[in-house]
Structure 1
Amino acid sequence: MTVWDRPEPPHRPVPLDRERIVAAAVALADEGGLAAVSLRKVAARLGAGPMRLYGFLSTKEELFDLLVDEVQGEILPEERPDDWREALSVLSHRTRRTALRHEWLADLLGGRPTLGPNGLAVTEAKLAALDGLTDIDTALRAVETVSAYVTGAIRREIADLRAERATGLSEQEWQRASGPHVTSMLATGRFPALAKAVHDGTDVDAETSFATGLDWVLDAVAAQLARP
């Protein structure tokens, strides 16, 4: 029995329900990351004893499942675009924006899919975008490929943001601080391709980089769909 199927216990002596528990857990995670979330801390925020939560949850992993499913509700658009490419693009960009609002989501993306209503709805929306355009196996591989790119790009962006906060250096400040070392290494001539990238490459912001990479992945999906 999953956490979503389990009946909720009576609301006494402190009124509790799964919605309040999840809202408290999301607030704790937004404030301090996943390390700030535990059944004990959620119970304390709700003014209840920790044992009360075990009527709703068996493990912290179930709590994390509820956390992911809750914020996945922010990914779904109000209206689904008719074009498959636009539909997958909208879902991808909304996933990124959701992760930037809830940075802890990056730590939980890419594992086993959650089986909550919002998680299933997101998966349904991705597969429905390709419904009728190809066979189901091709649709599954396409969705997996796009999801793998989105997860990787989000994790890298969030890691950069965390590093910036940890070091107190912006990306530009970090590049200037490490510039002498990089310059001396490139001067050895051992890294000609990297030297060209450093000297001639165009620096873009995270959103532009994400959008460009996503377009390339969707181009690959389109090419696959066009095959006889």
Structure 2
Amino acid sequence: MTVWDRPEPPTRPAPLDRERIVAAAVALADEGGLEAVSLRKVAARLDVGPMRLYGYISTKEELFDLMVDEVYAEILPEEQPGDWREVLRVLAHRTRQACLRHEWLADLLGGRPALGPNALAVTEATLAVFDGLTDLDTVMRAVETVNAYFTGAIRREIANLRAERASGLSEREWQHASGPHVRRLLATGRFPALARFVHDGNEVDAEVSFATGLDWVLDAVAARLARPAGVTFRISG
């Protein structure tokens, strides 16, 4: 039985419910990451004894499930966008924005499917827009491909933000500090492709990079959806 199937205990003298518990846990995670969340710390935030929480939540993993589903409510758009491409684009960007507000969410993306009501609503919105376009296997591969892209891109961006805070250096400051080392390596001539990238490549910010990569992935999905069923490509020779 999941935490969503298990009823909450009757109201007791000090007001307490899963909504308050989850809100306190999310606040703790926003302040200090997942390592700052425990049933004991949540109970202290709510000024109740830790044992009170066990009537509502059995394990920390259940608490994480509830926290994830709480944030999925921020990801689901109020109005469904038009076509499948716009739906996937909007959901990817809204997931990124949610992770920038709640960095700990990036640590929980990409595992087993989230089963809370808000997460399932996001999944329904994603799958429903493909109805009648192609077969179910193709839909699943398309959605998995897009999800894999934005999950990886978001995790990388969050990792960079954490590295900045840990080092006290912005990305540009880190590049400046690392410059002499990189220039010495490039001067050896051992890394010509990297040298061209460093000297001639254009630097873009994280949001532009995310949007560009997402469009490329969506282009690839669109090309696959446009291919007639059963068509395969052969290399002659």
TM, length-normalised to structure 2: 0.95
How far residue 48 of structure 1 moved from its aligned partner, in angstroms, is 1.0
Q: Give yes or no for contact 1:75–1:98 (8 Å, CA) kept in 2.
A: yes
Q: Quick one: distance in 2 between partners of 1:13 and 1:29?
A: 27
How far residue 13 of structure 1 moved from its aligned partner, in angstroms, is 2.7
Give the match for residue 97 of structure 1: 97
How far residue 129 of structure 1 moved from its aligned partner, in angstroms, is 2.1
Q: Give yes or no for contact 1:21–1:46 (8 Å, CA) kept in 2.
A: yes
Give the match for residue 185 of structure 2: 185
Question: How do 1:1-228 and structure 2 match up within 5 A?
Answer: 1-228=1-228
Gaps of 5+ in 2: 229-237
- Kindly name which structure, 1 or 2, has the bigger radius of gyration based on alpha carbons: 2
2:163 partner letter:
A
2:180 partner letter:
P
Cα distance per residue 1:154-185 (max 9 Å; x no partner): 00000111111111100000000000111111
Q: Give yes or no for contact 1:14–1:47 (8 Å, CA) kept in 2.
A: no
Residue identity (%): 82
Q: Quick one: distance in 1 between partners of 2:177 and 2:16?
A: 51
How far residue 43 of structure 1 moved from its aligned partner, in angstroms, is 0.8
Q: Quick one: distance in 2 between partners of 1:113 and 1:24?
A: 24
Gaps of 5+ in 1: none
1:70 partner letter:
E
- SS of 1:71's partner is helix
1:112 partner letter:
R
How far residue 128 of structure 1 moved from its aligned partner, in angstroms, is 1.3
Q: Quick one: distance in 2 between partners of 1:186 and 1:3?
A: 55
Q: Give yes or no for contact 1:84–1:130 (8 Å, CA) kept in 2.
A: yes
Q: Give yes or no for contact 1:88–1:129 (8 Å, CA) kept in 2.
A: no
Q: Quick one: distance in 2 between partners of 1:191 and 1:100?
A: 34
- State the aligned residue count: 228
TM, length-normalised to structure 1: 0.98
Q: Which runs of 4+ in 1 moved over 2 A?
A: none
RMSD of aligned Cα (Å): 0.7
- SS of 2:189's partner is coil
Q: Quick one: distance in 1 between partners of 2:148 and 2:187?
A: 36
How far residue 189 of structure 1 moved from its aligned partner, in angstroms, is 1.2
Q: Quick one: distance in 2 between partners of 1:51 and 1:114?
A: 26
